[in-house]
Amino acid sequence: MKFRRSGRLVDMTNYMLHHPHSLVPLTYFSEKYQSAKSSISEDLTIIKETFEQQGIGTLLTVAGAAGGVKFIPKVKLSEAKQFIDELCELMAKPERLLPGGYLYLTDMLGDPSIVNQIGRLFATVFSNRKIDVVMTVATKGIPLAYAVAGQLDVPVVYVRKDSKVTEGSTVSINYVSGSSKRIQTMLLAKRSLKEGSNVLIIDDFMKAGGTINGMISLLEEFDANVAGIGVLVETEGVEERLVDEYISLVKLTAVNMRERDIQVMPGTYFHNMKDNEIGED
């Protein structure tokens, strides 16, 4: 099938968006569209310029026989700021308050467009790390983990607190929940993680960090490495933070039940700005 440039641009944009962090040889496109490599290169230049200008991401060109082009999703700094401000505003609504000072976030985490945007932000900030797999803990972290993993083109594994017959043999550890100090168990299917994997840990909420510390201990059992830690919400005011290096999108600084007041501010996301060249603006 012969394609005109306009059709190629539409189809190539779709293809690149669906294959982030994957090296696509130029021959793939030139054969698909029966077009010269020089035309494909020009198409890619247009796509790259538009992606960068619009804050979609960038295209990296890898030269040589094994070369090709790779789409790296990147959210612009200004867009990330605006989105995190919106998250803060959404989270601070008094009707979220539940007995005990807990927050109802099910609606936010149930919205695929919010979840996907969170995924894009984490994929941006961790884009230059070597990541083989994204790990989370059931249940609330799962949608976030898939959203990040989809943008990084890696699989997801999730830790459970109870064993399931459909997962085969598991490795389990005991850990101390940071805030309640209770001893709990978490487990991971033995065959779900290869030795030496570089693992990005993603979760929805971090209080003292007990659950994330549990995941780190579990990774040690698999001889796997922590490639990064990302949490949607961290809370402030915990005496002893068990996990030190992490990236949070928002920080819950105060919850006042009596006055029905929730204080939320941006998390550590922007602290890592320079390292990761999130945006040019």
Does residue 110 belong to the site contacting its own copies (CB under 8 A)?
Answer: yes
What tokens were used for 254?
């105060």
Does residue 107 belong to the site contacting its own copies (CB under 8 A)?
Answer: yes
Does residue 250 belong to the site contacting its own copies (CB under 8 A)?
Answer: no
Q: Binding its own copies by CB under 8 A: which of 67, 82, 104, 220?
A: 104
Count, residues near its own copies per rule CB under 8 A: 57
Q: Among 23, 69, 21, which residue's Cα sits nearest to residue 48?
A: 69
Q: What is the pattern of x (binds its own copies, CB under 8 A) and - over residues 161-190?
A: ----xxxx--------------------x-
| Least spacing, CB of residue 69 vs its own copies, in Å | 14
Query: What does the CA dihedral 206, 150, 20, 134 come to, rounded to 10 degrees?
Result: 50
Does residue 34 belong to the site contacting its own copies (CB under 8 A)?
Answer: no
- Please identify, among the stretches 23-31, 105-113, 237-245, 247-255, the one whose residues bind its own copies according to the rule CB under 8 A: 105-113
d(CA 13, CA 54): 13
d(CA 213, CA 219): 10
- Please identify, among the stretches 8-16, 121-129, 211-219, 240-248, the one whose residues bind its own copies according to the rule CB under 8 A: 8-16
Run of H or E residues at 200: strand 198-206
20 secondary structure, DSSP code: B
Query: Which residue, 138 or 270, has its beta carbon nearer to its own copies?
Result: 138
For the chain, counts of helices (H) and of strands (E): 9, 11
Query: Which residue, 61 or 139, has its beta carbon nearer to its own copies?
Result: 139
- Please identify, among the stretches 5-13, 211-219, 241-249, 267-275, the one whose residues bind its own copies according to the rule CB under 8 A: 5-13
Look at the block and give the residue holding tokens 């790390």: 129
Task: Give, as ranges, the residues between 137 and 156 that touch its own copies (CB under 8 A).
Answer: 138-140, 142-143, 146-147, 149-150, 153-156
Query: Which region, left, alpha or beta, applies to residue 168 given φ > 0 means left and ψ of -120 to 50 means alpha?
Result: left
d(CA 125, CA 247): 8
Run of H or E residues at 73: strand 68-73
Does residue 106 belong to the site contacting its own copies (CB under 8 A)?
Answer: yes
Look at the block and give the residue holding tokens 């249940």: 139
Residues in contact with its own copies by CB under 8 A are 1, 5-7, 9-11, 13-14, 17-18, 46-47, 49-51, 53-54, 56, 98-100, 102-107, 110-113, 115-116, 138-140, 142-143, 146-147, 149-150, 153-158, 160, 165-168, 189, 191-192
